[in-house]
Structure 1
Amino acid sequence: MIQQVFSIVVPLFVIAAVGYFYGSRVRPEMRITNQLIMDVFMPALIFHVMIQEDFYPSQYLPIMLAGVLLMLGSGVIAFGLARLIHLPWRGFVPPAMFSNWANLGLPLYVFSLGDAALGAGVMLVVAGNILCFTIGTYIYSGKLSSLEVLKTPVIVAVILGGAFNFLDIRLPLAFDKSVEMLGQIAIPLMLFSLGVRLTRASWKDSRAGVIMAMFCPMVGVALALLLIELIPMSAMHQNILILFGALPPAVVNFILAEQYQTEPDAVASMVLIGNFFAVISLPVVLFFVLSN
C-alpha cells in the first residue's frame, strides 16, 4: 500500500519540483503559459470530458454540492479562526476555501483513482472557479462582479460542453482528437507551472503559512467525512471529495491577493508553505483513501 501511495504522489511532486528548480534557476516569465493553461488547455480538457457519450452531468450534482459546502464551511471556520488568533480575515479566508483543484487535484484523482475520476474532478474545478471568481473576488477586493465569471474560458467551456452534451452533438473524430490532445497538455503543464509559481511566493509571514498548512487538510478532510455521511454519492466520489478536502491553497489566491493588494505577503506564505506541507499530508490522506 505504501509503495502504491508513493507511486501516485511522487510523479506529481517530481513534475512540480522540476518546475520549481527550473524556475529558481531561469526565472522564466510564466504569465503567457499560465494564460494558455486557463484560456486554452484547461477549457479543452473540460469541454472534451463533457462531450463524451458516458458523461451525464446529473451524476455529478451530489459531489458538486458537497464540494461547494466544503468550501463554504472551510471559509466560515477560517473566518472564526482568523478573528480568534487576530489574523486579517480577508487574507486568511480565501486560501482556506480555494485549493489546488486543478494544478494538483486533477492529476491526483486520475493517478490514484483512474481516468473515471476525471469527470467529477473537472466538475469540482468548475464549482471552485465559480466560487473563487465571485465570492473570492469579493473578499479580496470588496466588490462583487458576477458577470466576470461568465467571461472566463473555463466557464464558457462548461456552457458549450453542457450544450453539446444535452443536444447529443458529436464532433468529427479529427476535431475530437485535436481537442483531446490540447486537454492532455493541461495536467503536466499545470504541475510544472505550479512549481515555477512557488519560486515567487514568500516565506515572510511564516506564522500564517504554517497555520494554513495545518488548517487545510485537517478541516477539509473533517468536513469531507461529514459531508459523505450527509450526501449520498458513489464510493469513488466519496474518495475524490476526501482528496479534494486535503488539497493545499491554490496559487490563484496569491494572484488575486497581489492584484487587489490584500495581504499579498501573508497569502503568498500560505500558498508556499501549504503546498510544501502537502508533500507530507497528501500521502497520509491518500493512504487512508486507498486502504478503505
Structure 2
Amino acid sequence: MVTMLSTIAPMFVVILVGFAAGFISRFRQATSHLNVFLFYFALPAFIYTAMVTAPPLEGFPLAALIIPLVVTPVLSVGLYYLCRVLGEQSRQGAAPASLAGTFGNVGYFGIPISISVIGPEAGLAAGVIHMIHNAFYMNGYPLVRTAVNTRAQSAGQPRGFRSFARRQLWPVLRRAILFNPVFSAMLLALILVLTERRMPELFDEPAAMLGETAVPLALFCVGLALHPAIDGIRSGGVPISPIAVGTAVKLLILPLLTWAAVLPFYDQLGPVWAGTLIILAATPSSTTVFLFSEEYDGDGRLAAAILVTSTGLSLITLPLIAEFMRI
C-alpha cells in the first residue's frame, strides 16, 4: 500500500500545484491554451512514444478489446436508469451522471499510472485500450445526446435522416476521429508496432521530447480544471444522490466489474493486459465530462461534482486497487 501510494502520490501533488495556480488569474486565462498544446502535441507524442518503445507483447488478445466495449457501456446505461428512479433532480441529471460515472481519465491518469505500476510494457496495452475507450465516448455520448436533443427540438416534426447526419452527426465523427491528434498518434503507433517498422529518429526524438511534457502538464491542467468544476458546484442545485452513486460507480463498481470480466480470460490476457484494464477502469472521471455535459446537456455542474469527488477520492482508491492487484 505504501509503495503504491508513493508511486501515485506525486501525481496528486502536481494536481494540487495546478489547483493552487488556478487561484491566479493569468493561469486560469491560460488554461485553454495549455489544453490545446496538451491535446494536439504533448499527449499524442507521449502516447505514441509509450506505445512504440514498450517491450513487445504476445499479440493482442480479443478479450482486451471486448471487455471495455461491453462492461463500460452496460454500466453506463445501468447508471442512467438508476438515476432516473432516485428522484426528480436525479432524473434530470441521469445523462451527465452516466457519463461522469464511467468515462475515466485514462489518458492523463491511466497511462502514466499503468506504466508506473506495471512497467513500461504496459505502454502499448494502455495505448490500445485508451484508443478504444476514447473512440467510444468521444463519439458515443455526443451522438446520443445530439440525437436526443434534436428529437426534442423537433417537437413531433421529424427531419430527414440525411440532413440530420450531415448537419449533426458528421461534425461529431469528423472532430472525434478524423481530426483527433490523439487518435491519429495511437493509430500510427499501432501500425508501426504491428508491422515492426520504425519512424526516422528525426521524428521519434522530437516526439519523445514533447511527450516528456505530457504527464506533468496533463496533471497540472487537471488541477486547473477543478476550479470551473467547483464554481459550477457552488452555484447550487446539484443533487447529492447522483454524485454519490456516480462516484461509487466510477471508483469501485467499474473496476470491480472489469476485474470480474477479466478473471475468465486471465490466461489469454496475461498480467499486463489484465492489470492495465483494471487500472484504466479505476481512474477518476475525465475532465472532458464537464465540457461534454456543458455542451450537450446545458449544465455541467453534476458532472463537475462527480469529477471533483472522484479525483479527490482516487488518491485512496487507486493505491488500494493497485495493491490488490499485487496480491
Q: TM-score with structure 1 length normalisation?
A: 0.90
Q: 1:169-248 residue pairs with structure 2 within 5 A?
A: 169-202=197-230, 203=233, 204=236, 205=238, 207=240, 208-231=242-265, 232-248=268-284
Structure 1 residues 176-185 or 156-165, which shifts more? 156-165
Secondary structure at the counterpart of residue 98 of structure 1 = coil
Matched residues in 1 for 2:198 and 2:219: separation? 30
Alignment partner of 2:300 out of 255, 264, 284: 264
Secondary structure at the counterpart of residue 284 of structure 2 = coil
Matched residues in 1 for 2:191 and 2:116: separation? 29
Hey, what does 1:37 align to over in structure 2? Answer: 38
Alpha-carbon spacing, 1:167–1:226, altered in 2? closer, same or farther (3 Å):
closer
Matched residues in 2 for 1:170 and 1:92: separation? 42
Post-superposition offset of 1:52:
4.4
Alignment partner of 2:111 out of 106, 112, 127: 106
Number of equivalent positions: 290
Q: 1:1-292 residue pairs with structure 2 within 5 A?
A: 2-26=1-25, 27-52=28-53, 54-55=55-56, 58-59=59-60, 61-86=62-87, 87=90, 88=92, 89-142=94-147, 144-145=169-170, 146-148=173-175, 149-202=177-230, 203=233, 204=236, 205=238, 207=240, 208-231=242-265, 232-290=268-326, 292=327
Please identify the structure whose Cα radius of gyration is greater. 2
Post-superposition offset of 1:159:
3.0
Structure 1 residues 195-204 or 160-169, which shifts more? 160-169
Percent pairwise identity: 20
Q: Which amino acid aligns with 1:245?
A: A
Q: Which deviations, in whole Å up to 9, do the C-alpha atoms of 1:42-75 show, x marking residues without a partner?
A: 2222333444485569426432322222321221
Matched residues in 2 for 1:50 and 1:180: separation? 11
User: Contact 2:101–2:306 (CA<8 Å) still a contact in 1?
Assistant: no
Secondary structure at the counterpart of residue 30 of structure 1 = helix
Secondary structure at the counterpart of residue 228 of structure 2 = coil
Matched residues in 2 for 1:4 and 1:244: separation? 19
Secondary structure at the counterpart of residue 24 of structure 1 = coil
Q: Which deviations, in whole Å up to 9, do the C-alpha atoms of 1:167-203 show, x marking residues without a partner?
A: 4432232432111111221112111111111121033
Q: Please, which runs of 5 or more residues in structure 2 have no aligned partner?
A: 148-167
Q: TM-score with structure 2 length normalisation?
A: 0.81
Alpha-carbon spacing, 1:166–1:279, altered in 2? closer, same or farther (3 Å):
closer
